[in-house]
Amino acid sequence: MERLQESNLPVNWQQLSSVIALQLVWQRHYEVITDDATGFQQVRFKPKQELAKATEGIESPYDIEARYRRRYEVNWTGYMVHLSETCDDDACHVITQVMTTPATVHEVNCTQEIHQALMDKGLIPSEHFVDSAYVDAHLLVEAQAQGITLVGPARPNVTWQTKTENAFDFTQFGVDWEQQKVVCPQGNQSISGSPLSDRNNRPIFKVNFSRSDCTDCPVRAQCTRAKLPAARSLLLMPQLQYEALKSARAIHASAEGQQRYKRRAGIEGTLSQGV
C-alpha cells in the first residue's frame, strides 16, 4: 500500500478500481501501529467491535458487492439467494423465481420484490409459503391486496409479558378502533392516545392508561414493570396490520395451520441441493 504512494509510480495505478477496493478492505480490517520509542511497526487486526456496519464495508477486493452476514450459527461473506418454487400436489414442482441480494439485505425486504417479479411473469401465487424472516404485519396486508395469502410463522412479540406466565401482553387488551380506545383485562379504558412512527417510519399508535387505575390495580405486577406512579401504555399498529398479524399468528398456531405449513418443506430440499 505504501509503495503505491511513491512518486515514481504511474499515477493511474492509485486510481485503479482494484487498488481502491484493496485499500478499502485493508482500512476496514487492519491498521498499522508504530511504536513511538523504537519506530517499529506492526499490523493490527481490528476486532469486530471496531468495524463499521457490514452493509457499509467491502469485505473482499475480489468481489466488492459481497457482504458479511451471520445468521444463527452460520456466518459467511457473499450473497443471499431466494428461490420460489411451485408446491401443488398434482403437478411437478418448478422453480419460478430466483433473486440474489448481498448477504446483508434482510429477507423481509425481499418479499414484496419477489411478489412483483412473479406478478410480472404472470405467475402470482394464491398462497405463498415462506419462513418467518419473510413475514411481517405490513407484508401480510400488502400481499393480501395483491391477491396473495402470505403463509408463514410471523415472528413473536418479545416483550416480557409474552414470556411470563399469567402476564398480560397486548393480545389480551380489547381495541375499539372507531373510538380509538383500548380496554385492559381488568376492564379499565385507556385515557389518551397519540400517533407516532416506528424505527422504519411506519405509523403506530400509543395508548396510555390512567395512573389512578394502574397504581392500585391488584394485577399490576402481571401487567407492567414501570416504576410508580407510571401506568401501562401500549404501542399498536394500524388496524389492518394489527388484525392481519393477530390472525396469521392464530392460524399458524392451530393444528390445521401447522399441517398446512408442512407444504413449505419441499423448498428446503431444493435449497439443500443448491448448496
- Structural domain of residue 25, as residue ranges? 3-56
Domain count, the chain: 3
* Residue 79 sits in the same domain as residue 149: yes
The DSSP code for 221 is: G
Tell whether 62 is covered by a domain.
Answer: no
> In this structure, is the dihedral angle defined by the CA atoms of residues 255, 257, 261 and 263, taken in order, positive or negative?
positive
With H, G, I as helix, E, B as strand and everything else as coil, classify residue 234: strand
Tell whether 61 is covered by a domain.
Answer: no
Q: What pLDDT score does 274 carry?
A: 67
Note the pLDDT tens digit of each residue in 2-15. 676 666 777 677 77
Q: Which residue is listed with cell 393480501?
A: 144
Q: What pLDDT score does 48 carry?
A: 81
* Residue 171 sits in the same domain as residue 225: yes
On average, the pLDDT of the chain sits at: 90
Tell whether 141 is covered by a domain.
Answer: yes
Percent of the chain predicted with pLDDT > 70: 96
Give CA angle at 198 (195, 204), nearest 5°.
35
* Residue 148 sits in the same domain as residue 268: yes
Tell whether 64 is covered by a domain.
Answer: no
Tell whether 63 is covered by a domain.
Answer: no
Residue 132 clears pLDDT 80, i.e. is over it: yes
* Residue 141 sits in the same domain as residue 181: no
Mean pLDDT score, 22-51: 85
* Residue 74 sits in the same domain as residue 150: yes
Tell whether 121 is covered by a domain.
Answer: yes
Tell whether 209 is covered by a domain.
Answer: yes
* Residue 135 sits in the same domain as residue 258: yes
Residue 124 clears pLDDT 90, i.e. is over it: yes
Give CA angle at 30 (29, 33), nearest 5°.
155
Residue 275 clears pLDDT 70, i.e. is over it: no
Amino acid at 264: R
Q: Which of 34, 56, 78 is the last residue of a domain?
A: 56
**Main-chain phi, psi angles of 81, to 5 degrees:** -115, 130
Note the pLDDT tens digit of each residue in 158-176. 899 999 999 999 999 999 9
> Would you say 57 and 28 are in contact if contact means Cβ atoms under 8 Å apart?
yes
Tell whether 40 is covered by a domain.
Answer: yes
Q: What pLDDT score does 7 carry?
A: 63
* Residue 89 sits in the same domain as residue 193: no
Measured CA to CA, the distance from residue 85 to residue 3 in angstroms comes to 52
Which has the closest alpha carbon to 232: 212, 258, 256, 259? 212
* Residue 146 sits in the same domain as residue 174: no
With H, G, I as helix, E, B as strand and everything else as coil, classify residue 233: strand
Q: Which residue is listed with cell 373510538?
A: 179
* Residue 34 sits in the same domain as residue 165: no
Amino acid at 16: L
> Would you say 42 and 33 are in contact if contact means Cβ atoms under 8 Å apart?
yes
Amino acid at 88: D
Note the pLDDT tens digit of each residue in 51-110. 878 777 788 888 988 998 988 888 899 999 999 999 988 888 899 999 999 999 999 999
CB count within 10 Å of CB 115 equals: 22
* Residue 13 sits in the same domain as residue 85: no
Q: What pLDDT score does 256 carry?
A: 95
Measured CA to CA, the distance from residue 145 to residue 240 in angstroms comes to 11
* Residue 184 sits in the same domain as residue 224: yes
* Residue 187 sits in the same domain as residue 227: yes
Q: Name the pTM for this structure.
A: 0.81
Measured CA to CA, the distance from residue 238 to residue 137 in angstroms comes to 10
Pairing of strands 149-151, 127-129: parallel
Measured CA to CA, the distance from residue 6 to residue 14 in angstroms comes to 10
> Would you say 176 and 189 are in contact if contact means Cβ atoms under 8 Å apart?
no
